[in-house]
Amino acid sequence: MSQRPATLGELRRSQWSEARLAHRSVKQEMRENLLAKIEAGETLFPGIHGYEDTVVPQIVNAILARHNFILLGLRGQAKSRILRSLVNFLDEAIPVVAGCEINDNPYRPICRACREQIATLGDATPIAWLDRQNRYVEKLATPDVTIADIIGDVDPIKAARGGRDLSDELTIHYGLLPRANRGIFAINELPDLAGKIQVGLFNIMQEGDVQIKGYPVRLPLDVLLVFTANPEDYTARGKIITPLKDRIGSEIRTHYPTTLQEAMAITAQEAWVERDGRPVFVPEFVREAIEEIAFQARSDKRVDRRSGVSQRLPISTLETVLSNAEQRAVRNREPQVVARVADIYAAIPAITGKLELEYEGELKGAEAIAAELIRAAVGKTFGRYFADVNLQPIVQWFEMGGELKLPANAPARELVQRFGKIQGLLEQVERLGTSPRGEPPFVAAAAEFILEGLWATRRIQRSEERGFYAEKPRLAEPRETREQPGRPPRRQYN
């Protein structure tokens, strides 16, 4: 790249001419760059899965319409990540007046200090370059946020040092919104913002003027305003005032992943699975079971649906599952870390904190609910692999008095030896992508999953004392013993 202009004169003679830059707003800049990306077939939001046909087209429409917009959705739906990805639609860098607090356009300065500097220095005015990452400003809304934080305040120290009156514009200490000039200003959890602060926002959005300490200051900012909110929090923690909602161009609803594959892609992308010790392997059926926990929780009546179940649940669970498998491998001096279903139960502490329970769930307890969700998830996953498979030989082994109790941290080879005593069990392992002739950790994980699946679908039983077992099936009683006393036997018809 050629050297960038360093003065206003050089800027006028470059590709950043006044004709191109003077009247090009940030919303128009994003619109042009977005259209170019669409035409080139680029991925618009890398790392965002499951929104390709729902949320992303609506965001594209909002940007093309040059709208301020808000993302409404429950926790853990990638709202903040989407907002931070918007910088990809900005230019790589833009020229600003050097030293300006509000990133003034050299051709159209709105800051008095910059206007005076350009009037004095002319083409010798120094120019700095602002890259796209520094054009994004984000604020988490809390009830204690003030107008001074967002808009600005009079700085008496600046006034005293410059010998200026407090009403002088040069005594202003700018807040976050003016400092986002010519960029993107994002507010997370908008309903938590006090009503008077929201009034300041819609005034700057529509009229472009504010009052600081009673002094009118004209600030025609060039900024894209974007917000996030949880729709279920409006009544509990605050609300978006009507005039502000009216000035937000587009309201876009986010959602949780609709398919298991989308959810697994998100978890695989976000979870820390590349450990710095032994090689790590998470069988596909374990990944599916972990992901299924969130789906089961979102449909469980004992879990508060208004709060939602964040995608962070399977992410944290997968990381904890790997940690439990990792310490087992180290204890047993096994060369590879392989996750098993037992590790999911060990990850209950990573699940309970992600669940907001209804009254019924609170009575039962978060750990009990988490254990039931894991069982349901394993059963659902098991059904996908073994829906049409005859596993009766395995069940019969238990029904004939067989019992199997698995030590929590037993080595894989020991488990495989124990599983080998159950008729028909190891023959089914190949359906899960492993082989009885394969490495013991993989075989142990697959065989344990089959037994857990049989228990989850209530074909065998499991307890802390006995491990896996089954009650002996009742033999059919003779018809005579079932007849009620004092009555003649029922007549049989052929």
Domain boundaries, the chain: 8-253, 260-469
Residue 149's pLDDT is 87
Tokens read off for 325: 């498998």
State the pairing for strand pair 136-140/223-229.
unpaired
Residue 221's pLDDT is 86
Burial of 133 (0-12, 13-18, 19+ CB in 10 A): exposed
* Averaged pLDDT, 33-55: 95
pLDDT exceeds cutoff 70 at 171 = no
SS3 category, 404: strand
- pLDDT digits 0-9 by tens, 341-358: 999 999 999 999 999 999
- pLDDT digits 0-9 by tens, 105-143: 999 998 888 998 999 999 999 999 999 999 999 999 888
pLDDT exceeds cutoff 60 at 166 = no
Q: What CATH number has the domain spanning 8-253?
A: 3.40.50.300
Residue 439's pLDDT is 86
Distance CA 406, CA 419 (A): 10
* Averaged pLDDT, 316-323: 97
pLDDT exceeds cutoff 60 at 476 = no
pLDDT exceeds cutoff 60 at 365 = yes
pLDDT exceeds cutoff 60 at 316 = yes
Residue 215's pLDDT is 64
pLDDT exceeds cutoff 70 at 333 = yes
Residue 2's pLDDT is 61
Least confident range of 54-68, 193-207, 261-275? 193-207
* Averaged pLDDT, 359-388: 95
- pLDDT digits 0-9 by tens, 7-40: 999 999 988 888 778 788 999 999 999 999 999 9
Question: 382 versus 171: which is more confidently predicted?
Answer: 382
Distance CA 198, CA 472 (A): 69
Residue 482's pLDDT is 47
| Average pLDDT value over all residues in the chain | 87
Sign for the pseudo-dihedral over CA of 169, 173, 175, 179: positive
Q: How many CA atoms lie within 13 A of 67 on its CB side?
A: 20
Q: Nearest to residue 463, comparing CAs of 406, 411, 393?
A: 406
Residue 112's pLDDT is 83
Percent above pLDDT 70 for the chain: 87
pLDDT exceeds cutoff 50 at 493 = no
Convert 313-337 to b/e letters by CB count within 10 Å (16 or more is b): bbbbbbbbbbbbbbebbeeeebeeb
- pLDDT digits 0-9 by tens, 423-452: 999 999 988 986 555 689 999 999 999 999
Residue 253's pLDDT is 95
Residue 407's pLDDT is 87
* Averaged pLDDT, 473-485: 53
Residue 485's pLDDT is 52
pLDDT exceeds cutoff 50 at 460 = yes
Q: Which residues contact 81 (CB under 8 A, 6 or more apart)?
A: 47, 48
Question: 208 versus 481: which is more confidently predicted?
Answer: 208
pLDDT exceeds cutoff 80 at 159 = no
Residue 157's pLDDT is 61
pLDDT exceeds cutoff 50 at 229 = yes
pTM for this entry:
0.85
